[in-house]
Chains A and B, each alone.
Chain A
Amino acid sequence: MIPEERPFVAPDKYHELEGVQKMLAACIQCGTCSGSCPNAFAMDVTPRTLWRMVLRGEKEAIFATRTFILCSSCYSCTLRCPRGLPLTEAMGALKQIASREGLAPYKASTRFYASFLDSVRRHGRVREGEMMSLYFMSMKNPLLPLQFASLGMKLMLKGKVGAPFPTRGKRPLEALFNKVMQLEKNP
């Protein structure tokens, strides 16, 4: 599931940005989205500016920001945008491109998504312990688990997380996952 790591979007994949441009076509650059965003303080580029980059097709610039990966899907901007644009969905579409392309700057997030879905694909439900160890393995950073050690301990003591090892099972969602991948390739 986890794609090879790449520094840039492959040039032939840029057409995917057209879908996002369509979502934003009616933007009037009022800035309500930026003013509503709880994560704006941590973004290098505000949502309003990001939308302008998208509309102008500034691809390299878009995938050099951390703006969309910092979207926590709170839907405040979507609800308040005076043009009624699907802004959270647009942030999601950019995350999807970063995930599919395995873009290096976003791997802390995209590998987490991938590990989560890997666990879901194995069992139909996510197993939190297993998901975290898949994540640690994919990040190949031996120090990373330490950041989570104290919370992991607390959860273990309360009997809230199970085995941290990937286990085999009957893979109940295999057909669904395969069909999704097939349809997204040739819609």
Chain B
Amino acid sequence: MKYFYYPGCSLEGTAQEYSLSTTALLAALGGEIEELPDWNCCGATAAESVSRLLCLALPARNLALAEKAVPGQDILVPCSACYLNMRRAWDKVRHDPATRSQINQTLEEEGLAVSGSTKVRHLLDVLCLDFGADAVFKRLQRSLAGLVVAPYYGCQCLRPYPVFDDPEAPSCMEPLIQATGAKVHPWSMGAVCCGASHMTTKKEVGLALVGEILDDAKGADVIVTVCPMCQMNLEAHQKKISRQRGKDLSISILYLPQLLGMALGLPEKDLGLKLNLGIAPGFMEKLRSPLMASKTKKADAA
């Protein structure tokens, strides 16, 4: 399976570990990726708050680049905000001819055009539907039994486009987590908003939203995420929220491919585990359960 890889701006900066672990995990699962050449920012949530056309034209340029380079090759996107923007542009290009022609006028000068022939896929979609829990289970090198994992989906990977799971009560991460031997934390906050960029511009509101999520995660060892904005909101303000609420709400936050990568026995350095901001004391020791002896031998023999 080969994909264009669209890392997006965060994965080049504050979310490097998401990019490292995504790349490492896909390689281990036998997926092939090729970075989309010359990609540009999708506009994040800023463009939709400033201009309707800009918020379509920026992501559409990436679609056009992919269509031109290798027709029909899916684009894999790990960031939920980038995914939504690209998916929305794709949707408008396919279903709204007037908008498509406007978009194409913005791309003309560069000699680009978009037709909507290339599909945009979220990393979680690809992990669940193209690879699946079996692929993880078959390659398991380390059982994560004993860990309790809270799957956090956030908003934009399933809303407003519920392509690969139920947008109200998503569950597609559960088989992947269970394949590692870990338990799934039962909670109701998996698809509730973390506040997105509120943490920068309306901090008190952001802190309140994240506080509710951290509170409901009590009992889990780790929350796993599939979006750099969710990750940063959940991991970076735990001390302040704990102080505000008068209780310790610190908890480790990992990207899903970091957790799966550990289960597959990938080197910690390849998963960027030193770059995370929120790792609770004692958690790494738990995560580093011994590699399975029989499997290690098999791998050595192979």
A binds B: yes
B209: chain A residues within 8 A (beta carbon): 38-39, 72
- In the complex, the chain B residue whose C-beta lies closest to that of A177 is B54
**A158 touching B275 by the CB < 8 A rule?**
yes
**B193 touching A176 by the CB < 8 A rule?**
no
B61: chain A residues within 8 A (beta carbon): 173, 176
- In the complex, the chain A residue whose C-beta lies closest to that of B107 is A176
A128-187 contacts to B, CB under 8 A, are 128-129, 147-148, 151, 154-155, 158-162, 172-173, 175-177, 179-180, 183-184, 187
Counting chain B CB atoms within 10 Å of each CB, the highest count among A96, A172, A187 belongs to A96
- The number of residues on chain A lying at the interface, defined by a beta carbon within 8 Å of a beta carbon of chain B, is 55
B97 to chain A, nearest CB (A): 15
The verdict on A108 contacting chain B, using a C-beta distance below 8 Å, is yes
**B200 touching A112 by the CB < 8 A rule?**
yes
A126 to B39, CA, bound (A): 12
The verdict on B49 contacting chain A, using a C-beta distance below 8 Å, is yes
B102: chain A residues within 8 A (beta carbon): 183, 187
**B208 touching A42 by the CB < 8 A rule?**
yes
The verdict on A75 contacting chain B, using a C-beta distance below 8 Å, is yes
The verdict on B110 contacting chain A, using a C-beta distance below 8 Å, is yes
Known: A41-B208, A126-B41. A99 touches B277 (CB 8 A): no
B76: chain A residues within 8 A (beta carbon): none
Scan B155-169; emit 1 where CB is below 8 A from any A CB, else 0. 110011010000110
A184 to B150, CA, bound (A): 44
Counting chain B CB atoms within 10 Å of each CB, the highest count among A78, A114, A120, A180 belongs to A180
**B205 touching A39 by the CB < 8 A rule?**
yes
**A125 touching B49 by the CB < 8 A rule?**
no
A85 to B274, CA, bound (A): 44
**A183 touching B53 by the CB < 8 A rule?**
yes
**A125 touching B160 by the CB < 8 A rule?**
no
The verdict on B63 contacting chain A, using a C-beta distance below 8 Å, is no
A184: chain B residues within 8 A (beta carbon): 51-53
Give chain A's interface secondary structure class. helix
A99 to chain B, nearest CB (A): 5
Q: Find A112's partner among B39, B51, B195, B201 (CB 8 Å cutoff).
A: B201
A154: chain B residues within 8 A (beta carbon): 236, 277
The verdict on B145 contacting chain A, using a C-beta distance below 8 Å, is no
Known: A72-B193, A112-B200, A112-B201. A120 touches B208 (CB 8 A): no
Scan A78-98; emit 1 where CB is below 8 A from any B CB, else 0. 110000000010001101100
B168-220 contacts to A, CB under 8 A, are 168, 192-193, 195-198, 200-205, 208-209
Q: Find B109's partner among A109, A114, A128, A175 (CB 8 Å cutoff).
A: A175
**A73 touching B106 by the CB < 8 A rule?**
no
B242 to chain A, nearest CB (A): 14
The verdict on B16 contacting chain A, using a C-beta distance below 8 Å, is yes
Scan B77-104; emit 1 where CB is below 8 A from any A CB, else 0. 0000000000000000000000000100
A179 to B51, CA, bound (A): 12
**B159 touching A78 by the CB < 8 A rule?**
yes
**B193 touching A76 by the CB < 8 A rule?**
yes
22 contacts between A and B (CB under 8 A): A38-B192, A38-B209, A41-B208, A42-B208, A70-B202, A74-B156, A79-B160, A92-B49, A113-B46, A117-B46, A120-B58, A125-B9, A125-B12, A127-B9, A128-B10, A128-B14, A155-B277, A179-B105, A180-B57, A183-B106, A184-B51, A187-B102
Q: Which residues of A pack against B, CB within 8 Å? A: 38-39, 41-42, 69-70, 72-76, 78-79, 88, 92-93, 95-96, 99-100, 108-110, 112-114, 116-117, 120, 124-129, 147-148, 151, 154-155, 158-162, 172-173, 175-177, 179-180, 183-184, 187
Top 8 nearest A-B pairs (CB, nearest first) are A75-B159, A74-B193, A116-B46, A113-B46, A95-B49, A175-B109, A74-B155, A179-B106
